[in-house]
Amino acid sequence: MSTDERPTLVVEDLSVEILGHGHPVTRVSFAVDRGEMVGIVGESGSGKSMTLRSMSGLLPFGVRARVDGSVTVAGTEVVGGSRERQRHPRVGGRAAFGYVFQEPLAALNPGFTIRRHLLEAMRPHGLLGSRGDRHERLVAALEEVRLPDPERVLRSHPHELSGGMRQRVVIALALLGRPHVLLADEPTTALDVTVAAEVLDLVQALQRSHALATVLVSHDLSLVAERCDRVIVMRAGEIVESASAQDIMRSPQHPYTQALLAATVDPFDPTLSRTQPEGGASPVLLSAEHLSVSYSRRRRGAQPVKAVDDVDVRVAAGEVLGVVGESGSGKSSLAKALAGMQSTSAGAVRLGDRLVTTAHRDRSWLTGDVQMVFQDPYSSLNPRMAVGSAIQRALAIHQPMLDGRARSCAVHDLLDDVGLPRTFVSRFPQELSGGQRQRVVVARALAATPRVLLADEPTSALDVSVQAQILDLLRDLVDERGLGMLLITHDFAAVRAIADRVIVMHAGRIVEAAAVDALITSPQHPYTRRLLDSVPSASRAGRPHDQEAS
Amino acid sequence: MTPTDIAPLVPAGASPTGSPQRLWRQLHRNPKTLVGMIILVPIVLVAIFAPWLTPYPYDAIYVGDVLGAPTSEHWLGTDLNGRDLLSRLIIGTRVVVGVPLAVGLLTLVIGVPIGLLAGYLRGVVDGVLMRVVDVFLSFPWLLVALGLAAVLGAGLSTVIVTLVVVYWPQVARVTRNSVMAVSESEYVTAAAAIGEPRSSIVLRYVLRNAYFPILVLLSSMLAFSILNEAGISFLGFGIQSPQTSWGLELAAGSTYLTAAPHLVIFPGLAIVLVVLGMNMFADGLGDLLNRQGRER
């Protein structure tokens, strides 16, 4: 137990005012004791990251902000004082905070070796010490975060490490000052699901062994509920609900929490089973046999990398086929090859009965039959083209017989179809929210009158509540128009929500293909099982994760 | 509460970064571009109406007033030949405005297509075009002026050709880099996916998003071209008397620095003022670009 009466971290009435831009954080109060992990959940713009950053003096540069309220770490006030003191608040000879960032590649300097990163981080804490045992201490710091072969890691630059290893390095850096409080801001969002589970296991283990007070910020309610003791739900800069993980999941009080929970799909929820019309009568729209895609390496004589290796795919009308895999599994290469945007090295692609495969980047055979919905709606729309013209361009190309009037009618119809108001024709992408943009992307794809939609991570850049809406929209379109759809994702929840069948890809090959229910309830392949075990699940909330492996 | 409420909404009525109205408003609000425009707009107006504004004909000689100091008759004094300096400076604004205009236009016409080709097609095309650019970039402007003056003879056309030769490679290089960056964007891939033809991708998607750095380069380039024109005329390769430009006046006056300092001071001040205006404008435009980059 702490000798102090008060918990290690006490935040009282913390407010942040960005001068001239309102209050991203308003009167936030919570407390975290040592050895406890508290999760903060919220969507983008909810102020969750801003809360963390203002506590630790890490507000973005060039932002003129005023931070009010009180943050005490082990009884010492850390808000206020000089900017320099705020950036390295120290309490009782230890750092007040250790900070784990979302994107480890961005948090590390690409020009520094890991060794140099560690040394740089030791300096402000006065931990450089004598040269004699410095190397041993660096190795120990890396061993603490369970990095294999620390000697090699020390000599490496960030780009030579995998995402999970990088995040371990960032955690090691955060722990160097022996912090009282560990602040983790979406620490696993940039990582693959199996790696994310490992990193979270590590954070939990460290939190226990070092008796850290930990704050875990995430957009993912299931993840937070599974890992944390208590959950704080934030919206528009305020705390709307704060309760234990079980209570939040079982009996959410605030309507916003309820809405968030309703939007969160638990892939293991048995009530989600799809009753699919198993007729087998629907025609196959798009199929690929023995499809391979390989990238030649720059270095002469090197073996080309096989991104997709001998893959068979079939999509029928009215069917959503989920393609699940981690980064590097070849799922995006498969999508590009099917969309004709990537040359294939072997195999055949058929569109209906027509053999269309080409070994080069020639898209003339497509005639709009295969359209894509991209991952990031913030970058897949031309910022200088209004919504209406973006859709009109696609109409002009694929339905050239329409005259001006018919074309603007068609634009209105498409906006109706994707659930956007008609007034949006004159809006520009930067005026729209992520979900609205993604609807525009869908409308643009539909304007080409496709038979098959390829959706490449269509929801991973969106907020949870919006994800569900976009998935529902895609499913409705498939059902109403008899389209075929390939849903490429790393997210089992998305697949569970709308897919009929799933294929699991690993290292360019299909390791398992089954109906969604069968795959999730009784996975056959060990890799599928490992993937599913790593998925954060609300139904496992409160249970310690390390017992889950058995 | 519907879940749509959760989506962050951009304030209604915000017009996009791309629209001309928005650009115009931004130019007004930024203090640097505002000051730049306050200096430059009158100068352009003076250039347009120059013949009606001059108190005396620019080449009329007043024999009694050689090297005369400013008086109530000749506000800025008279030059070596007894010509009214104010009238000569007013006529000189036509060069100050005309040279950058011609140079800007020609460099755009040559530089942008070459940069666009190199940046969009990449590979061999990029390699060849950029080596040509490198060769041109290695010419010092003075040497080019000297060589061209020997071929074409001194005059206004020499000034313009020199500056175009010196500046088009910069435009080409900046265009190419900007186009390369924009070509990586997903909306260019998306345009290909909906089946946009190449020409349309290049014009509607790439160039429309790549032009801003070119605009900024152009505005600072124009300031330099005013200085360069003055320099070339100062050295005697440019505008010839009795035609006039600010640089030429400065050169003529420099011989009589002690006897008639006003002959150097006023043209010098005029040059400083217009270059200051140009630079302020360019600087402000650069700020706007950076902010735009962050908003995206």
Domain boundaries, chain A: 9-263, 286-296+305-369+451-535, 372-449
What is the reported pLDDT for B242?
78
Structural domains in chain B plus CATH codes = 28-49+77-295 (1.10.3720.10)
CA distance B193 to B233: 54
Please check the confidence at residue B285 and state whether its pLDDT lies above 70. yes
Q: Which residue of B lies nearest to A373 if distances are taken between CA atoms?
A: B190
Please give chain A's pLDDT, 550 residues, in tens. Answer: 445 568 889 998 988 888 777 788 889 999 999 889 999 998 888 888 888 888 887 777 667 778 888 888 888 888 765 555 566 677 877 888 888 988 888 888 888 999 999 988 888 777 777 777 888 889 999 999 999 889 999 999 988 888 889 999 999 999 988 899 999 998 888 788 888 889 999 999 999 999 999 999 998 888 888 889 999 999 988 999 999 988 888 888 999 988 888 888 777 776 666 655 555 567 888 888 888 888 776 666 667 778 888 899 999 999 999 999 888 888 888 888 888 777 778 888 888 777 776 555 555 555 678 888 988 888 889 888 889 999 998 898 888 888 888 999 999 999 999 999 999 998 888 888 888 999 999 999 999 889 999 998 898 888 888 888 899 999 999 999 999 999 999 888 888 889 999 999 998 899 999 998 888 888 999 999 988 888 887 665 544 444 433 3
Interface pTM (ipTM) of the complex?
A: 0.72
Closest by Cβ to B7, choosing from A376, A429, A433: A433
Q: How many CB atoms are closer than 10 A to CB A79? A: 18
CA distance A62 to A449: 47
| CA dist list (Å): A136 to A133, A146, A170, B80, B98 | 5, 15, 19, 83, 70
- A9-263 and A286-296+305-369+451-535 share one fold: yes
Q: How many CB atoms are closer than 10 A to CB A60? A: 9
* CATH H superfamily, domain A9-263: P-loop containing nucleotide triphosphate hydrolases (3.40.50.300)
What is the reported pLDDT for B118?
93
Interface of B with A (CB under 8 A): 1, 3-4, 6-10, 14-19, 185-187, 189-197, 200, 204-205, 208-209, 295-296
Pairwise CB contact (< 8 Å): A441 & B205: no
Q: Which residue of B lies nearest to A339 if distances are taken between CA atoms?
A: B193
> What are the two backbone dihedrals, phi and then psi, of residue A241, each rounded to the nearest 5 degrees?
-160, 145
Which positions in chain B touch A386 (Cβ < 8 Å)?
16
Where is pLDDT greater, at A508 or B3? A508
CA distance A441 to A2: 54
Asked if A346 reaches chain B (Cβ–Cβ under 8 Å), the answer is no
Q: Which residue of A lies nearest to B182 if distances are taken between CA atoms?
A: A382
Mutation to test the B interface, candidates A50, A378, A380, most B Cβ within 10 Å: A380
Please check the confidence at residue B18 and state whether its pLDDT lies above 70. no
Which positions in chain A touch B204 (Cβ < 8 Å)?
382, 385, 393
Percent of residues, chain B, with pLDDT higher than 70 = 91
What is the reported pLDDT for A194?
86
Interface of A with B in 368-427 (CB under 8 A): 368, 371-372, 374-376, 379-386, 393-394, 397-398
Please check the confidence at residue B120 and state whether its pLDDT lies above 50. yes
* CATH H superfamily, domain A286-296+305-369+451-535: P-loop containing nucleotide triphosphate hydrolases (3.40.50.300)
Structure token digits, residue A366: 């497509």
Q: How many CB atoms are closer than 10 A to CB A92? A: 11
Pairwise CB contact (< 8 Å): B10 & A463: no
Please check the confidence at residue B263 and state whether its pLDDT lies above 90. no
Q: Which residue of A lies nearest to B293 if distances are taken between CA atoms?
A: A383
With bands split at pLDDT 50, 70 and 90, how would you rate the model's confidence at B11? very low
What is the reported pLDDT for A124?
74
Mean pLDDT of B166-181: 93
| CA dist list (Å): B201 to A96, A449, A523, B183 | 52, 20, 45, 9
Amino acid in the structure at residue A241:
E
Please check the confidence at residue B254 and state whether its pLDDT lies above 50. yes
Helices (H), B141-242: 141-152, 156-183, 186-193, 198-200, 208-235
CA distance A529 to A511: 11
Residue in A222, A232, A228, A283 with CA at minimum distance from that of residue A256: A232
Asked if A444 reaches chain B (Cβ–Cβ under 8 Å), the answer is yes
Pairwise CB contact (< 8 Å): B295 & A339: no
Pairwise CB contact (< 8 Å): B8 & A433: yes
CA angle, A333 then A267 then B5, to 5°:
90
| CA dist list (Å): A431 to A20, A375, A436, B11, B18 | 20, 19, 9, 8, 12
Please check the confidence at residue B66 and state whether its pLDDT lies above 80. no
What is the reported pLDDT for B16?
43
What is the reported pLDDT for A355?
75
Pairwise CB contact (< 8 Å): A383 & B18: yes
User: Terminus-to-terminus CA distance in chain A, angstroms?
Assistant: 32
What is the reported pLDDT for A550?
35
Interface of A with B in 234-263 (CB under 8 A): 235, 255-256, 259, 263
Residue in A38, A142, A82 with CA at minimum distance from that of residue A90: A82
What is the reported pLDDT for A543?
44
Pairwise CB contact (< 8 Å): B296 & A428: no
